[in-house]
């Protein structure tokens, strides 16, 4: 299966990203260090799953620090199995053990309809399995880290490849 090896771009100049990822991204938001795919109609695949948003963070020298692939669905078992085939078993699979809402506020429009709901929550995480709907799946590789963030209720996922903090 073909897939982009995002980890090969980490620590390199942003110009290398064009060679590996393509030229469909630009940096018109948030200054110079934030790159993204500009056209929402552009569809790409990673490990057999379509995505249309990719963000690249660089430092002041335009060296790539992290790449995040955004999916408009929660990754499934088939994707996870392909990912394990490429990167091995994860170091951590973290599931929510306990969620406590600390505070909540609601903003309503003039008609009393809720337009925004803000919650501050505290989460306790524990090790689990993919079948337990994890919040995070983490791989710690030599020189880089992969963190999968699964938002089950919103039906979205993010995979971030980043330079490992030493």
Interval 125-144: pLDDT, tens: 999 999 999 999 999 999 99
Query: Whole-structure pTM over 0.95, yes or no?
Result: no
Q: Is residue 99 part of a domain?
A: no
Q: Is residue 155 part of a domain?
A: yes
Task: Record the tokens describing residue 54, joined without a space.
Answer: 């990719």
What is the helix (H) or strand (E) element at residue 77, kind and residue range? helix 77-87
Q: Is residue 118 part of a domain?
A: no
Q: Is residue 146 part of a domain?
A: yes
Question: If you search the block for the tokens 């996922």, which residue do you land on?
Answer: 157
Rg (CA), the chain: 18
pLDDT tens string 76-119: 999 999 889 999 999 999 999 988 888 989 888 999 898 888 88
* 3-state secondary structure labels for all residues of 9-65: CCCCEHHHHHHHCCCCEECCCCHHHEEEECCCCCCEEECCEEECEEEEEECCCCEEE
Q: Is residue 1 part of a domain?
A: no
Q: Is residue 110 part of a domain?
A: no
């Amino acid at each position: 299966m073909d897939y982009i090896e995002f980890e090969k771009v980490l620590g390199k100049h942003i110009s290398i990203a064009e060679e590996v990822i393509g030229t469909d991204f630009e940096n018109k938001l948030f200054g110079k260090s934030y790159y993204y795919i500009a056209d929402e109609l552009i569809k790409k695949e990673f490990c057999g799953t379509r995505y249309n948003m990719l963000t690249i963070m660089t430092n002041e020298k335009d060296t790539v620090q992290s790449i995040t692939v955004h999916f408009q669905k929660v990754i499934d078992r088939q994707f996870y199995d392909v990912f394990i085939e490429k990167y091995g078993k994860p170091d951590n699979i973290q599931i929510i053990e306990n969620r406590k809402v600390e505070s909540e506020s609601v903003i309503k429009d003039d008609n009393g309809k809720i337009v925004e709901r803000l919650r501050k929550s505290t989460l306790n995480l524990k090790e689990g399995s993919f079948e337990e709907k994890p919040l995070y799946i983490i791989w710690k590789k030599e020189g880089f880290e992969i963190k999968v963030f699964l938002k089950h209720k919103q039906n979205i996922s993010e995979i971030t490849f980043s330079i490992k903090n030493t």
